[in-house]
Amino acid sequence: MLMKEYRICMPLTVEEYRIGQLYMISKHSHEQSERGEGVEVVQNEPYEDPTHGQGQFTEKRVYLNNKLPSWARAVVPKIFYVTEKAWNYYPYTITEYTCSFLPKFSIHIETKYEDNKGSNDNIFDSEPKGEEEIEVCLVDIAYDEIPERYYKESEDLRYFKSEKTDRGVLQEGWIDNQEPIMCSYKLVTVKFEVWGLQTRVEQFVHKVIRDVLLLGHRQAFAWVDEWIEMTMDEVREYERATQEATNRKIGPFPPSISITETPLASVARNGPSSAPSTPLSTEPPEYLSVPKDRPRKKSAPETLTLPDPNRRDSGFRLASIFSWGSTPSPQPE
């Protein structure tokens, strides 16, 4: 299990971003979808929690086989998707991702929003487990490098100025001088409990998540003039219409192939209370053991090497990780 906290500042208020987040996720999902690939909305309905109150529950399937790197496409089924379940009690949200092909893989994201510059070190009241500190990653939406394939000049916040809010251009050091300003705090837990691959895969997924968060939050502000005057009813109608258009765009899906285990309590429909917790083991799982009654084939590869996550062709993206969030996709190449 690898846990990191991300802090992303925005030149908005928390109340403004409530609208902007919903608009950005809907538009982003629609843009990244194509026939047979993209984000299928399974559920999107009001939900009330006894602790957090009134909120919104969404369930989505992110179909992304063609967006996977070549090494992943070689080992996963053709019909492959990631399930996103999100409980939005704004300004607090919970998002969980599980995989139809890898039951030992999960991502758990807790998000809180505050009107500050990312200065709250105890927002999640989380205690380090053992002697390990939780790494805090600061994400600058204007000056952090974005993967070249996602760059758009119209979304470059070093040059963008909002006509309706008169905010921007974001100069270097803008976080120290910007008013208004808010921060999106995200506590992200990645688990890939497969012996021999856990550390490398968890680090790789965190890099993907960071890229997705950077892209999504950049877009939320770059599109501010499109959503800043919307009411909640108007953005919900936009969300509904875009959802229908996206489902039509990607078309019907064939029956899916999935591998399942006993469901984790935190992925239940009635809402999670914490990150999924499965005991870790240093011993290889039984299904990876070589039977003793037959010799090992000498031609079989001894190890599986994952690609360097810093290479352009190794990345992939989860859609809508911003809630992310979704989502924020993540969406991969």
Average pLDDT across each block of 10 residues of the chain; the chain has 333 residues. List them in order: 97 98 91 73 92 94 70 64 94 93 90 98 74 87 94 96 97 96 98 90 93 95 98 95 86 48 42 43 41 45 46 43 40 38
Identity of the amino acid at 146: I
pLDDT for position 329: 37
Closest CA to 232 of 84, 30, 86, 90: 90
pLDDT for position 266: 40
pTM confidence score: 0.75
C-alpha–C-alpha distance, residues 140 and 221, integer Å:
13
The kind and range of the H/E element at 217 are: helix 198-222
pLDDT for position 238: 96
pLDDT for position 66: 62
C-alpha–C-alpha distance, residues 107 and 2, integer Å:
10
Beta strands in the chain (DSSP E): 2-10, 38-49, 53-63, 81-89, 92-99, 105-114, 135-139, 182-192, 321-322, 325-326
